[in-house]
Amino acid sequence: MPPSDAPSVSVVIPVFNGATSITRAIASVLAQDFTDFEIIVVNDGSTDGTRYALHPFGEQIRLLEQGNAGPAVARNAGIAAARGEYIAFLDADDAWLPAKLSLLVEALRSDRCAVLAFSDVVPIDAHDRQVAQAPVPRALAYAPSMDEMLSRWWPIYPSAVLVQRATVIACGGFDRGFRRPGYEDPLLWLLARQHGSFVYVDRPLVLYRYLPEFERMAKYAPGLAIFADRVRCHFGAAGDILIADLRGAHLNVLSHEGLVAMALGDMRRARRAFRTVLRCYPGHGRTLSRLLRACLPTAFATALSSPRRRRRWAAHGRIALKVEA
C-alpha cells in the first residue's frame, strides 16, 4: 500500500540527451487538469545540456541520476522510487494534452478489473507538426484480449499508458535485457495483461514523436530477437504468431527500403537496410545476395537488376521522397 500522503499518480520520465525536449515534456505534465501526481525524472547518463534544462523545475520534480543504461533500466529506477497507486510513463520527446491523466485515471477507477488504461496519440515530427493520422486504426480502437495481443503488435505507446504500480511490480518492471529502445514496452504490456483487463480511451491525448517507418524499424530491430526470446519464454508456442507478424513487418519495410535505395543508386543506404534485415533474419538468402550486390560498385550492382525492376523501385523512391518533403 502507498503511504497515506502519496500522490495518486507517479509520472516517470526517462531522458537521455533530451535537452531540447525535456522542458516541453515536463511542462505538459504541469499543465494537466489532474493535479494529484509526482514527477520523477531519470537522467540516463545524458552528456548534453539536459541537467541544466532541468534546473528551473526545482522541487517540482524528483531527479534521479544514473549512468547510461537505456530506457528500460531508467524507467525501472523511476518505478522503484514511485509512491503513487498508478504509474504514467512519458518519453522525453513526447508531450501530453491537458486531459491525459484525468481521463485515464477515471477510466481505471471505473473498472475494478482493469490494470492498464491507454489512449490514442497524435504523431508529430521534430517541429511539432502532425505528420500522420492517429496511429490507432478504427479496427483496433478498443482494449485487446490476451489472445489478440499474442496475434499481432498492438498500438499501445508508453506515453499513452497509465498502469497500476502493483501490476508493474508484479511483472518485474521492464526487462533489463533491452539496453536500447525497442520492444521492452510491448513485452511489459503482455505480462500486465495476464494480471487484468485493459481500458482504451478513444481520444488522442499524447503528442507522440513519430519516426518514418524505415527509421523506426531500423531503430527497433536489435531488440526484436530479445523480444522473441522473452515471448517464447513466457508464452511458449502461443507467441509464435506475434513473433512472425513482427518479423514479417521488419522484413517487408527494410527490404523495400533497400531495393528502393539500390534503384536510386544509394548503395550505402541499401547496405544499411539489408544488414538490418539480417539482424531479424540471420542467413536470409535473398537478403544476403542483395547485400552482396549492394557492396559492388554502383554500375555493376544496378546492371544486375532488370531495367523494368529498376524503374519500378526508383519510382517508389521518388514517390517516398515527395511524401517526406
Structural domain includes residue 285: yes
82/153 same-domain check = yes
Do residues 138 and 34 share a domain? yes
Q: Are residues 261 and 184 in the same domain?
A: no
Calculate what percentage of the chain has a pLDDT beyond 70: 90
Report how far residue 226's alpha carbon sits from residue 239's, in angstroms, rounded to the nearest whole number.
13
Amino acid at 143: A
pLDDT for res 262: 81
Q: Note the residue count of the chain.
A: 325
Q: Do 206 and 305 belong to one domain?
A: no
91 and 177 assigned to the same domain: yes
Domain C-terminal end among 143, 177, 210: 210
Alpha carbon 69 to chain centroid distance?
Answer: 17
3-state secondary structure the chain: CCCCCCCCEEEEEEECCCCCCHHHHHHHHHCCCCCCEEEEEEEECCCCCHHHHHHHHHHHCEEEEECCCCHHHHHHHHHHHCCCCEEEECCCCCEECCCHHHHHHHHHHCCCCEEEEEEEEEEECCCCCECCCCCCCHHHCCCCCHHHHCCCCCCCCHHHEEEEHHHHHHCCCCCCCCCCCCCHHHHHHHHHHCCCEEEEEEEEEEEEECCCHHHHHHHHHHHHHHHHHHHHHHHHHHHHHHHHHHHHHHHHHHHHHHHHHHHCCCHHHHHHHHHHHHHHCCCCHHHHHHHHHHCCCHHHHHHCCCHHHHHHHHHHHHHHHHHHC
Domain membership flag for residue 46: yes
* pLDDT one-digit tens code per residue, 122-160: 999 888 888 877 778 888 899 999 999 999 999 999 999
Average pLDDT over all residues of the chain: 88
Tens-digit pLDDT profile for residues 244-262: 999 888 888 888 888 888 8
Residues 246, 193 within the same domain: no
Instruction: Count up the domains in the chain and report the number.
Output: 2
Does 97 map to a domain?
yes
Does some domain include residue 104? yes
Q: pLDDT digit string (tens) for 188-229?
A: 999 999 999 999 999 999 999 988 777 887 788 888 889 999
Any idea what the CATH number is for the domain that residue 20 is in?
A: 3.90.550.10
Judgement on whether residues 18 and 57 belong to the same structural domain of the protein: yes
The answer to the question of residue 2 being in a domain is no
75, part of any domain: yes
Find all residues with CB under 8 Å of 201, minimum gap 6, and list them.
Answer: 103, 104, 107, 117, 118, 119, 120
What is the domain extent for residue 312?
235-324
Q: How confident is the model at residue 113 (pLDDT cuts 50, 70, 90)?
A: very high
Q: What is the mean pLDDT of residues 6-33?
A: 97
| End-of-domain residue from the set 194, 210, 226 | 210
Q: What is the pTM of this model?
A: 0.85
Name the domain boundary from 210, 227, 260.
210
Q: Do 206 and 250 lie in a common domain?
A: no
What pLDDT shows up at residue 252? 83
User: Considering only 65-74, 108-117, 135-144, which range has the smallest mean pLDDT?
Assistant: 135-144
Is 134 inside a domain boundary?
yes
Cell (9 digits) for 183: 520492444
Whether residue 90 is found in the same domain as residue 198: yes
Q: Is the same domain home to 152 and 244? A: no
Evaluate whether residue 308 is within a structural domain. yes
Task: Looking at the structure, tell me whether residues 88 and 205 fall in a common domain.
Answer: yes
Clarify whether residues 129 and 60 are in a common domain: yes
For residues 235-241, give the mean pLDDT.
96
Between CA 222 and CA 277 the distance in angstroms is: 10
> How confident is the model at residue 288, as a pLDDT?
85
Residue predicted with more confidence, 283 or 71: 71
